[in-house]
Copies of this chain bind each other. A is one copy, B any other.
């Protein structure tokens, strides 16, 4: 079973990487860009086949390692 995890900075947390990308895009002439936020995208291949157990495991991985829940949100999507 595959799991896709999006880790994004919470609203209000300064995103310096996003700001840098935004400035670089403006420098390249993309003036229509108003705001940029950069996050992480993690694809996990799991031996687990039960969706409920897989979600619980990935949830636990996010809390323990993948996301810093003080400043980041995470979203889990499971593929069969």
A34 touches B45 (CB 8 A): yes
A36 touches B32 (CB 8 A): no
* Copies of the polypeptide in the assembly: 2
A45-76 contacts to B (CB < 8 Å): 45-48, 54, 57, 60-61, 64-66
- A44 interface contact, C-beta 8 A: yes
Nearest-CB distance from A22 to chain B (Å)? 9
Which one, B7, B25, B38, B46, contacts A32 given CB within 8 A? B46
Residues in chain B near residue A41, CB distance under 8 A: 6-8, 38-41
A1-47 contacts to B (CB < 8 Å): 6-8, 18, 21, 24-25, 28, 30-47
